[in-house]
Amino acid sequence: MKLWNDENEKFALMREKLYTPVVGDILDELGYYHQFLPQDIRPLREDMKLAGKAMTVLMTDVYGPQKKPFGLLTEALDQLKENEIYIAAGGTKRGAYWGELLTAAARTRKASGAVVNGWHRDTPQVLGLNWPVFARACWAQDSSIRTCVCDFRCTIEIGQVTIQDGDIVFGDIDGVLIIPRKIHKEVLRKALDKAAGEKTVRKAIENGMSATEAFATFGIL
């Protein structure tokens, strides 16, 4: 059975029906054991949730004023597409990787969110735009003389996770994970089945079934 007709429906379905624990369980089941980003990459607000395609960005450190401040940052922002997620890694986090104007630019281009392996700033303004941003923490230090974008739509790594441009990014209050593009349809179908199954198990337990019996009956816990 076809579960979605286009990308908009697919990502809307993920945001509505799925949550990172159940998707992570399916990735484990398929042998993809290291797909969660580090635990301290968190949403700016607990109810933020994102689902979309990775638009990968590689950062590097710089030291002092540059001939081209921020490197390729504006070029990376300007080619974001609908349903893409700006996801940045690299450098040693010497300044904030995300802020108000970057949020406005990405949001206007109908991107779905941002994930940075570093700091964000302009926190009240970013929150006011009501658009999903995930980062390690807030820190106002400017990046223009400290970091720059050296490449985009390239392979990056965050923690133990290798991320290719176009992989699926999914995040909520419990963390952010990466679904390799080549297996994402199988993962989503199985995760939707498991999410529905968990509701059945919960109802059975609330109706008096023991946890042992529930696991033996449904194979879900």
Q: Tokens 């969660």 correspond to what residue?
A: 36
CATH number of the domain that residue 172 is part of: 3.50.30.40
Expressed as residue numbers, the domain containing 97 is 34-179
* Rounded Cα gap, residues 146 and 93, in angstroms: 9
- 28-64 pLDDT, tens digit per residue, is 999 999 999 999 999 999 999 999 999 999 999 999 9
Q: Note the Cα 125 to chain centre separation in Å.
A: 21
* Rounded Cα gap, residues 7 and 50, in angstroms: 14
CA 6 to each of CA 53, 72, 108, 161, 181: distance values in angstroms, whole numbers, following the listed order: 13, 31, 21, 27, 15
- 133-155 pLDDT, tens digit per residue, is 999 999 999 999 999 999 999 99
pTM assigned to the model: 0.95
**Does residue 160 lie within any of the structural domains?**
yes
**Does residue 100 lie within any of the structural domains?**
yes
**Does residue 85 lie within any of the structural domains?**
yes
